[in-house]
Amino acid sequence: MKIFKEIPAKKPITPLLDKVEIPADIRSFSIGELQTLSDELREFLLYSVGQSGGHLGGGLGVVELTIILHYLYNTPFDKLVWDVGHQAYPHKILTGRKNEIETIRKKDGLAPFPSINESDYDSFGVGHSSTSISALLGMAVAAAESDPEKKHVAVIGDGAMTAGMAFEALSHTGHIKPNVLIILNDNDMSISENVGGLSNYFSRIWASKTYKGIKKSGASFLKPLPQAYHLARKVETQMKAMVAPGTIFEELGLNYIGPIDGHNLKEMKDVISNLKEFDGPQFLHVITKKGAGLDPAEADRIGFHAIGKIKSIKQKKSNKKKYQDIFSDWIVDMADKDKDLVAITPAMREGSGLVEFSKKFPDRYFDVAIAEQHSVTFGAGLAIAGKKPVVAIYSTFLQRAYDQLIHDVAVQNLNVTFALDRAGLVGEDGPTHSGNYDIAYLRCIPNMTICTPADENETRLMLTSAFNHHGPVSVRYPRGEGPNVKVDEKLETVDIGKARLIAENNTKVILLNFGSLLHLAEKVSKNLKLTLIDMRFVKPLDKEILIKYLSNADLFISLEDGSIMGGAGSAVQEFCSENKINIKSLLLGIPDSFIDHATREEMLDEAGLTADKIESKIKELM
């Protein structure tokens, strides 16, 4: 493997890669040419991500694996599913999208993850973790009769394998035993010492056609002697347990092979080409290095998981704090004050802003891995025992724990605070990561309180208020920087369900703001001379202020960075109906469609959430 010291600033010369338009072009290559291709692909990946920004570390780690899979399998006829898709950039480059790769994550450019609307080589749309095995199993079952020769392969990371959904799918796979290959891409390096020596020797034996034939004939010979057959099977299982950590997968009914070196092209070619011919579910454990081939990325796997453009890396950092920094400061300060505070996150320590907390309060910090359902019920257990858990989770990932939120937290009215980062339109990661629906799916739950702070200081105020409130509370805030409002470092609270009047002008037209778009609402209300109220809470609504201002008004406009359907504006409409307030309404928010990846500003523009577009819509009604 060629090692790079830095990300290339100039487009590299890649003569062999330039010949590859589709995967079929590499299937006549020799092993030597495949090695050259891997070096060129890695260098081109480094350059292109340096130009566009995006996920880097995962893709660097699977360059060789991607090449071998497309070399051995007849894609797109054979189906290849990448879990999450952070690591799929090399896959996109080899499947006809090399010249477009610099547009990735940009408006009208390539999607940040595999997408069925983008290429036939993207067998299943992904973005959230741990879905690949379930999807692959469904595809394999559906193809069993119509296309029995079709091969099915899933690549799932060691992080994604921590989710319950992955093990549910593995259990079902072991039960129905389809002809599939599941590849565990293990880049954690916690068991890397098992690669080589005895481990590789036995992996080659177990994945060989000779062993397969002996095993099959031996099984036929020994089955009339059940004790002898089970003894032979047990010996194989115990030998595997001695040199490899695969016993659990064997017990689930899969044939475990590995671990093998995921950067050794010949080793993978030999093993996987044999596994293609095996019957039943095969589980191949591959060890890779996240960030492989780039020295800084191998040394800092978290920092190089995703990067910005090279040009922006060298720019002076902004002095503005991101919302995750506001949360980080708050939870450390709150934990100093209240020893019962416990922080929980499902594998989002850095993204959620819990690094400092984890260092200062290691005994009160729990990263439960990619297990959103467990994180919520774990919090419920802590709460019922008298602790005060704070679950730091992205809005889009809380969707995965909806039943636990209702059944285990809300029904019991437990004190669990949900810090919902990445609420609303998130930008380049696109619709799978946008947090558009938490207002709609939370406000229908009894006992739930929903806070929508408008800026950094309001976020700190509402986090404190939520933490001190009895019952489950969500505090939603967007990705990135706010309007740079000065933050009061005191741990003060606001009254639950109380709005604040921002401007009182034309009392016949009332603009109700919910959340982080207040800066737009202030501009619009000033230009059109409207009365502006920052509602602060979706549930409970401030009944007093709504009755006071809506009873004699002609029109109210609601503004939110969330789904219009079932959102905050709908809550106000319901309130007006219940209180017999006859008033026209204009609900502004995210429409009933998925908005593709772009910058957050471009996505807001597409949703009609800019000052000019908001003003235009209001003028039509006025």
Q: What is the CATH number of the domain that holds 271?
A: 3.40.50.970
Segment 513-566, tens digit of pLDDT: 999 999 999 999 999 999 999 999 999 999 999 999 999 999 999 999 999 999
Q: How far apart are CA 575 and CA 58, in angstroms?
A: 48
| Residue 356 included in any domain | yes
Tell me: do 121 and 238 sit in the same domain: yes
| Residue 487 included in any domain | no
Q: Please say which residue of 252, 275, 307 terminates a domain.
A: 307
Tell me: do 94 and 137 sit in the same domain: yes
387 part of the active site: no
Structure token pair of residue 9: 């600033």
Mean pLDDT on 392-399: 97
Tell me: do 302 and 350 sit in the same domain: no
Tell me: do 170 and 130 sit in the same domain: yes
Tell me: do 330 and 444 sit in the same domain: yes
Tell me: do 78 and 182 sit in the same domain: yes
Asked whether the CA dihedral 307, 81, 400, 284 is positive or negative, the reply is: negative
**Backbone dihedral region for residue 468 (phi beyond 0: left; psi -120 to 50: alpha; all else: beta):** alpha
Active-site residue, selected from the candidate residues 64, 372, 428, 458 = 372
> Any residues with CB less than 8 A from the CB of 165 and at least 6 apart, and which?
130, 131, 134
> Any residues with CB less than 8 A from the CB of 13 and at least 6 apart, and which?
none
Active-site residue, selected from the candidate residues 97, 364, 400, 476 = 400
Active-site residue, selected from the candidate residues 79, 290, 388, 539 = 290
| Residue 490 included in any domain | no
Q: Please say which residue of 279, 307, 335 terminates a domain.
A: 307
Tell me: do 302 and 327 sit in the same domain: no
| Residue 3 included in any domain | no
**Could you tell me whether strands 282-287 and 417-421 are parallel, antiparallel, or unpaired per DSSP bridges?**
unpaired
Tell me: do 251 and 355 sit in the same domain: no
> Any residues with CB less than 8 A from the CB of 313 and at least 6 apart, and which?
307
Tell me: do 559 and 586 sit in the same domain: yes
Tell me: do 151 and 198 sit in the same domain: yes
| Residue 343 included in any domain | yes
Per-residue pLDDT at 193: 38
Q: Please say which residue of 476, 510, 525 terminates a domain.
A: 476
522 part of the active site: no
Q: How far apart are CA 16 and CA 38, in angstroms?
A: 10
Per-residue pLDDT at 251: 87
Domain that holds residue 143: 17-307
**What percent of the chain is modeled with pLDDT above 90?**
78
102 part of the active site: no
| Residue 493 included in any domain | no
How many distinct structural domains can be found in the chain?
Answer: 3
pLDDT band at 213 (very low <50, low <70, confident <90, very high): low
Residue 236 has pLDDT above 90, yes or no: no
pLDDT band at 317 (very low <50, low <70, confident <90, very high): low
Q: How far apart are CA 195 and CA 299, in angstroms?
A: 20
| Residue 408 included in any domain | yes
Tell me: do 287 and 335 sit in the same domain: no
Asked whether the CA dihedral 488, 492, 497, 500 is positive or negative, the reply is: negative
Tell me: do 445 and 515 sit in the same domain: no
| Residue 313 included in any domain | no
